[in-house]
Amino acid sequence: MPPIILTIDDAKAVRLLVEKVLSPFDCEATEAANGFNGFFAIERARPDLIVLDLYMPVMNGVDMLARLKAAPELADIPVLMLPSRGDHEVIPQLPAMGAADILMKPFTEAALLEKIRALVQLKPRRP
């Protein structure tokens, strides 16, 4: 079964960028605009990877990461965190909180794809 990758970010541009980067691969790209809606997306389709923004309205990425890692049925889902340079105070804490990896914003498509491929196996789409 193709991997499911859930992007949770309040910036539509970031969600679209992840979708674009994943488009050549056999996977399902889903999205949510904040952590609260992200939990509903997780219930609908258990993702193989979560790409998670740090600061969002309703529920931020730090709170969501803590809740994910505290839930035994969700704790094993790898989370790629997307902090900004201004988030320097919280960035060192993310690995200890359970983040599988960190990609600083702004980032290139190539850097994003490299981080995703390190966390989930992607196969090219068949024509």
**Segment 81-115, tens digit of pLDDT:** 999 888 888 999 999 999 999 999 999 999 999 99
CATH number for the domain spanning 76: value is 3.40.50.2300
In the block, tokens 């399902």 appear at 28
In a domain, 126, yes or no: no
Instruction: Give residue 88's domain range.
Output: 4-119
Per-residue model confidence (pLDDT) at position 63: 94
Instruction: Classify residue 69 by burial, with Cβ atoms within 10 Å: 0-12, 13-18, 19+.
Output: middle
Q: Which two tokens stand for residue 74?
A: 């969700």
pLDDT (tens digit per residue) in 2-30: 999 999 999 999 999 999 999 999 999 99
Q: Residue 57: which pLDDT band, with cuts at 50, 70 and 90? A: confident
pLDDT (tens digit per residue) in 59-88: 899 999 999 999 999 999 999 999 988 888
In a domain, 47, yes or no: yes
For the full predicted model, state whether its pTM sits above 0.85.
yes
Amino acid (1-letter code) at residue 66: A
In a domain, 70, yes or no: yes
Q: Provide the number of structural domains found in the chain.
A: 1
In a domain, 99, yes or no: yes
Distance separating alpha carbons of residues 67 and 87, to the nearest angstrom: 20
